[in-house]
Amino acid sequence: YTLQHGSVISMTRSQSYLVLPSWNSTSGGSFSFTFRTNEPNGLLFYNQGLKGASLDVFAIEILEGYLYLHLNLGPEALKIRASNQRLDDGTWHKIEIFLRSKSGTIKVNEDFQEFAIPGESNGLELLNSLYVGNIDHLDSKITPPPSIWSASLNKGFVGCLRDLEMNGNHIDLHHFVKHQDSGSILTSCHITPPKCTNRPCLNGGVCVDGWGRYICDCSLTGFNGPICGKAASILQFDGSQRLSISNPGEGATEAENIVLRFRTPKAHGFLFELRDNNGGNTADKLEFLLIDGKIEVFLKMGLTEKKLIAGNDLGDDKWHNIHFKRRGMILSLAIDGNAPILAEAYGSMSTLGHTVLNLASRLYYTESLTPFSGHMQQFIFNGREYFEMIRSGTLVSSYSLTGVFYDANDSDVYHDVTFLSHHTYMGLPQLKTYANIDLYFRLRTLETDGIIMFNAGRGQDFIAVELSNGHIHYVLNLGYGVINLRDNSPRKINDNKWHTVSIGRPSQFKHTLRVDTYHSSANSKGNESNLDLDGILFLGGVRKNMYSKLPSEIISTYGYQGCLACIELNGVAGDPINKALVPSNQVSKGCEEEARNSRNNYELSDIDTQYVGLNYHRKQQIQNHFRQQELDSSIISRCSCENDGICIEHGGSSPTCDCDLTSFSGPRCTEESVAYEWSNEPGLIRYNFPYDKRPDTRIDVLSLGIITPLNYAIIVRIDSASSNDFLEMQIEDGYIHILYNLGTEDIMISDKNILVNDGNYHVIKFTRSEANSTLQIDDHPTQFKYPIALRRQLTVFNSQSQIHVGGKWNPTSHKIEKSFQGIIAGLVYNGLRPLDLVANRDGGAKIHGRNVKIVENIPFDYRDTHSPLFRRDNQQGFKQMQMTNPSKYPDPGINDDLIYSKLECDEDEEKYYNPRCFAFEGSGDELITPVYTPPYNPLWKNRNTIQNCDDEEDCNTSTEGSGHSHDSTTKAFVYTTEPSPPTTWAPWETTSTPFEEMTQSKEKIVEVNEESSSQRPPIIYENYDTKYNVYDNEPEPKTPIYDTDRPRVTSAATSSTIMVISIILVAIIAIILIIFIVLRMRTRDEDRGYKVEESRTYQFDSTALVSSSNTTNNADLDEGEGGSLLGNTTSSNGFYARNLAVVKKPSSSSSSSKPIREWYV
C-alpha cells in the first residue's frame, strides 16, 4: 500500500473545521480513516440530510477517550461505543466502517463489531456537506441531535487525520485545506513537546497539555482568556435584579458542563435555572439553589428527577466555585475544586429541554425562594461565557438584564510590548480565523493614527484594525464588499490610558466592535460567510512598500506607535516577542518600566508628564522635542536606526545609519534589501573581484539574512587567487558553521544553539579580526573564537578573487556542491553587496543556473508557502533515530520518527545533479539507514546493493515483505555534457570560461540500466580536503599562467618559507667558506715540502698544471711506474686518467721529506 499525496492534516484548534462533499451511502458504502490525538473529547465527522420530517445523521466523535458512532435513519437513532479502550493515547488508530442497507460493521484497529440500524429507511440520505473536526455553529441550518454530546459541548477535534476514504475513493485533504481554513488546519502532523512545562497559565490557572497546544482552566480563578490573563466580568445583584436569556444553547441537550463563581453574605438565594417554559408545571428544568449555605441541584426531565447536595457554609461572603457535569443519566457536582459527588438518574428520558436561562431570580418567586444578593462571575454553560458575551456585545440571543456589571481591577496587563516607531512592524503567524472572529487587545498611546494589525487573504478577503483620528477603525472584507466599523466612543482614546478593544462575529451576518464600554455593530451581505486569509499577520504596521497597495478603505499611511498588551486572537494568546516570525528591533518588551528609565535619563517638560507609560528610548542619543500645537507630543530620536543599525555621528552634520550588519537597507535600515530565492535545482551567484583590485584584508565583516529548510548547504564562500586562503559560511545539521583559513590551518566558529532551517528569517553576522572571529545569529548571544596557536597564526586573507553565493563551484567535477535552497537577502561582505550588483546587472556579478530568481519582497511566510519542504520532525543531521512504532504508511509528516528518504528531485528536468538526491540509495523501501560524514557530503556513486523488505509497514508492493526475493531493475540517470574546447584554466584561477561553457553547452540526460552503468567504473570523488579545496585523487593541475605585467601577490605562508630556506643556504655557504679558510691556513706550511714536476716520460693529451688541491685519490705513484699505468687506461675510480696532474713523491733520501697528506672538500 502506497500512501497517496495530500492525505494527512492536523487540526490545531477546537473551532476549526473542514467542509467536504457528502458521503453517498444511500445503498451502503464504506468509510475509513486514521487519526491520533491526546485530547479526550472532539467531534470527528458530522453529516446530515433531510428526508420528510426525520433527520438522517452520520457522526463519529470521541468522548472521554472512547470512539462513538452515530447513525440515524428515522425516528430512532443508533449510538454505539466502538472502542473498548481509550484512543486518546497519541498513537495512530485505524477506523473502518462498512454499511449494507440497515446493517454494518465497524473496525477499530483490529477489533470489529457488527450492528443493525433502526429506522424506517433502508439507507442514509445525506444531502448536506460532510464536516470534519467540528461544525459551523454560525449556520442555523446545521442542527445536531442532542445525542451527539461533543456538538452540544462545543468540543471540536484537535489532532491529526489521514487516509480518509469514502466508498473506496481517496480524499485529497490538502486540496480542501488549501481553499478553506489554511491558518488553523495544517498539512502535516508533528509531535510537539509538552507546552505546560513553560507555565503559560497566569493567575493560578491550571494548565493541561493538549495536542500541540496547552489549555488553561481558569474556572477556579477570577480571570479568563486563553492564559487566564483577563479579569473576568462581574455581575452585581441587589436582591431585586436578575438576568434572563431566551433560547440559550440548542434548546435540548443530553450533556452539560456548567461553571459558576459567586460571592454572597447570605445563606439562601436563587442562583440560576435552565427551564423549558413550554411545558408548564411539568416542564424540564435544571435548578441551582443556595439553601442553608449548601448547594442544591434539582434535575427534572419528564418523569425523571434527581437531586444533589454539596458544600457547606457557602454564604460567608467569599468566592466559591460550582462545577456541574452531566452525561446522559450520570451527574457530577463539585464545589471549590473538591472531589465531585457522583449520582445516577433513573428514568426513560435523558434529554433536557430548555428555552430560558434565569440567573439571580425568576420572573416570579415565592417567600421560600429568595432572590440572590451578591456577585456572580465566570458563568459558563457548554463552553459559552455568557457574561463576557453580554459585555462584548456578541450574544445573539435576546436577554433582559437589570443587574449591574462591576468593574474589576483590570490594571494588570500581560505580554505588553511597545512599538517605538511608526515605521516598523512585527510578523506573526497567520490569523487563525475562518468562520468565527474573536479578537481582543489593549492599547495605550498618544498617537492619533496608525495600523494596528493587518492580514491579507485570497481574492478580496482581508481584515484590518487601525487607529484613525484617535478612534478604532475595523475593516473587513469577506468577498462581498467591505465592512467598516468605527467605535462610537465620545472621546478619543489616544490619551495615554489603557483601553480595551474587542472584535467579534456573533452570527453569520453580524459583526461587532467594542471599545471599553461602547458598542457598535454592522451587518454583512452576500452568501460568502468565511474569511479566507493567507500570509502572515502584520502587527503594528506593514512593509514600507505595502502602504500604497493596501485596500483604499484603510486610512493610515504608517504604523502604530505606542503600547499593545493582552493580545488574544481567536482563543490563542498572542505573545509578539516570543512568537514573532518577523521580529523588530524597534519593538521592545514591556511598557512601563522602560519608559520610566527613559524618563530618568532625560529631562522632560511639564507637558510630557503623560508619557510615563511609553518606551521611546533609543540605543543612541535621544533628543526630546514636542509638537507645538498638539497635546499628544512624542519623543523622537535624532538618529533612529532600526533593526540593530549603527548610528554614526558626523560632527555637525546629520548622523547616518550603518546597515551592513542588519540585512536591511535605507536611511534608517528599515527597507528590505535585495533578496534572491533558490529553488530545488542547484544554482549560483558568483562575483569576480577586478583583476587589479583583489583585496588583502586583516578584518572581514560578513552579514546576511536567510530562510531555508536545508540541513546541509554552503551559503557563501570567498576564495583567494594566489593561495589556499578561504572563508566559507555553511549549514551543517541545521546550524551555522563558518570556516576560514589564512594560510596555516582551518579555523571554525559555529553556534549550535540556534537552528536556522526552521523556515524563519534569521540574520547572521560574522566578523574576523586577524585570526579571531565572532558570530551572532539574530539577537542571540554572540559566539567568540580565539584560536590557540600551536604555531604562529597568520592574519591576512590574501588576494580575494571570487565570492560564491548559494553553493560552491567544483571545477574538477563541474558541479555545484552543497547547493542552497531558500532565501538569501541583504548580503554584505566588507561593504560590498553582491546581490545588489546582480540586480543592477553589474558585469562582475553573474547568475548561473535557472533556479536563482530575485524576489520583490522577503517572503517571511516561506514556511507556510513551502510546507512540503518542512515535513520532518527532529531532523537534525539524522542524529535522532526511530523512537516510536513505524507507521504502516510512511510519508513525510505522518509518523514523525520515520526518516523519509524521498527527495523532490526531477531528473528529467534537472540541469545539474543534486548530490542530496543521490546521497543515500537503497532497494526501494522508504526506511533507510543514514550515514553521516561531516563536514562535506562526498559526490555520489552508484550502489547496486538490493535489500529485502523485511518491514511490511514500509513495503510498497505486494511482493515486498512476503519473504520472497524478487529481481528489480533500477533505472539510473547518467549526466552527460558535450565536451567543451580545451583550456588551460587552473582550479585557482578566476577565469569564468569553463563555468560558462558548462552552463551554456547542450546537456543530455541519458537513461540507462544500473547494470550496464556499473560495468564502467564511475569516477568517485571522496576524501574532500577543506584546507586545500581539492579532492585527494584528482589529477595534478597544470602550471598556472600568471600575468607578468602585474606583480604577483604572494601569500604570507610562501614568503615565510622562502625566507627560512634562504637563511639556511646562507648559513651552509658560510660554514663551507670558514672550513676552507681554516684548512688553507693550516696546510700552507706543508705545501713547501711537495715538489710538483712535469712528467718527462708520461703521455698526455694536453698539459695541465694544477695545484695540490686538485689531486686524485690514486695519485700515489712511484716515478718509474707511471708510464705503464697512465696511458688511456681507466683509473680505479672508473674515469679515464686524462688531463690529470701527477704529484711526484719526493725521494726518500731527502732530509726534508714528509708524508703526503691529501685533503678533500
Rounded to whole angstroms, the Cα distance separating 734 from 755 reads 5
Rounded to whole angstroms, the Cα distance separating 490 from 393 reads 18
Helix (H, G, I), strand (E, B) or coil at 870: helix
**For residue 678, which of 835, 475, 550, 462 has the smallest C-alpha distance?**
835
The DSSP line for 493-537 is S-SSS-EEEEEEEEETTEEEEEETTEEEEEE--SS-----B-SPE
Q: What average pLDDT does range 474-485 have in this prediction?
A: 90
Computed over its alpha carbons, how large is the radius of gyration of the chain? 43
Mind listing the pLDDT tens digit for each residue in 771-829? 899 999 987 888 998 887 545 678 899 889 999 999 988 888 888 889 999 999 999 99
Supply the pLDDT for residue 652.
56
**For residue 775, which of 759, 753, 790, 758 has the smallest C-alpha distance?**
753
Supply the pLDDT for residue 528.
67
* pLDDT class of 648 with cuts at 50, 70, 90: confident
Indicate the DSSP class of residue 982: P
In DSSP terms, which residues pair with 568 in a beta bridge?
440, 573
770 is written with which cell numbers? 586577524
294 is written with which cell numbers? 449548601
> Are 119 and 75 a contacting pair, CB within 8 Å?
yes
Supply the pLDDT for residue 550.
93
* pLDDT class of 106 with cuts at 50, 70, 90: very high
Mind listing the pLDDT tens digit for each residue in 1031-1043? 233 333 443 433 4
Supply the pLDDT for residue 1087.
52
**What burial letters (b/e) apply to 683-722, b meaning 16+ CB within 10 Å?**
bbbbbbbeeeebeebeebbbbbbbbbbbbbbbbbbbbbbb
Higher pLDDT, 934 or 239: 239
* pLDDT class of 661 with cuts at 50, 70, 90: confident
User: What counts of helices (H) and strands (E) characterise the chain?
Assistant: 11, 75
Indicate the DSSP class of residue 193: -
Average pLDDT over the chain, rounded to an integer: 75
Supply the pLDDT for residue 643.
76
Supply the pLDDT for residue 553.
93
Mind listing the pLDDT tens digit for each residue in 670-708? 788 899 999 888 889 999 898 888 899 999 999 999 999
- Amino acid found at 1092: V
Rounded to whole angstroms, the Cα distance separating 75 from 689 reads 84
Supply the pLDDT for residue 2.
34
CA distances from 635 to 604, 605, 607, 615, 787 (A): 10, 11, 12, 9, 46
Asked whether residue 554 carries a pLDDT value surpassing 80, the answer given is yes
Q: What average pLDDT does range 529-534 have in this prediction?
A: 87
Asked whether residue 1013 carries a pLDDT value surpassing 90, the answer given is no
* pLDDT class of 368 with cuts at 50, 70, 90: low
Supply the pLDDT for residue 642.
76
**Which sign, positive or negative, has the C-alpha torsion 329, 335, 340, 343?**
negative
Q: What average pLDDT does range 363-381 have in this prediction?
A: 83
Helix (H, G, I), strand (E, B) or coil at 1011: helix
1143 is written with which cell numbers? 704529484
Supply the pLDDT for residue 137.
87
* Neighbouring residues of 840: CB distance < 8 A, sequence distance ≥ 6: none
**For residue 500, which of 440, 439, 414, 568 has the smallest C-alpha distance?**
440
Between the ranges 786-790, 924-928, 1127-1131, where is the mean pLDDT highest?
786-790
- Assess whether the previous peptide bond of 935 is cis (omega < 30° from 0): yes
205 is written with which cell numbers? 490557572
Supply the pLDDT for residue 789.
55
Supply the pLDDT for residue 407.
66
Supply the pLDDT for residue 847.
87
Supply the pLDDT for residue 1121.
38
Q: What average pLDDT does range 1060-1072 have in this prediction?
A: 91
CA distances from 25 to 31, 98, 119, 170, 468 (A): 9, 10, 15, 16, 55
Q: Is 966 exposed, middle or buried (0-12, 13-18, 19+ CB in 10 A)?
A: exposed
Asked whether residue 139 carries a pLDDT value surpassing 60, the answer given is yes
**For residue 632, which of 816, 508, 448, 812 has the smallest C-alpha distance?**
448
462 is written with which cell numbers? 482581508
Determine what percent of the chain is predicted with pLDDT higher than 90: 42
Asked whether residue 359 carries a pLDDT value surpassing 90, the answer given is yes
Rounded to whole angstroms, the Cα distance separating 1000 from 1023 reads 30
CB atoms within 10 A of CB 346: 8
Mind listing the pLDDT tens digit for each residue in 287-313? 999 999 999 999 999 889 999 999 999
**Which sign, positive or negative, has the C-alpha torsion 1073, 1078, 1084, 1086?**
negative
Asked whether residue 250 carries a pLDDT value surpassing 50, the answer given is yes
- Amino acid found at 906: D
> Are 848 and 999 a contacting pair, CB within 8 Å?
yes
Supply the pLDDT for residue 1103.
37
Of the listed ranges 135-139, 462-466, 790-794, the one predicted with least confidence: 790-794
**For residue 164, which of 899, 904, 889 has the smallest C-alpha distance?**
889
- Cα angle, residue 314 at apex, residues 312 and 315 outer, rounded to 5°: 130
* pLDDT class of 592 with cuts at 50, 70, 90: low
- Segments in 292-437 forming alpha helices (H): 386-392
Indicate the DSSP class of residue 927: B
**Which sign, positive or negative, has the C-alpha torsion 946, 952, 955, 958?**
positive
* pLDDT class of 385 with cuts at 50, 70, 90: very high
Supply the pLDDT for residue 258.
96
Supply the pLDDT for residue 986.
34
- Amino acid found at 110: E
CA distances from 687 to 456, 683, 718, 834 (A): 38, 14, 9, 7
In DSSP terms, which residues pair with 444 in a beta bridge?
563
36 is written with which cell numbers? 491520533
- Amino acid found at 804: H
* pLDDT class of 945 with cuts at 50, 70, 90: very low
Rounded to whole angstroms, the Cα distance separating 881 from 903 reads 19
Indicate the DSSP class of residue 205: P
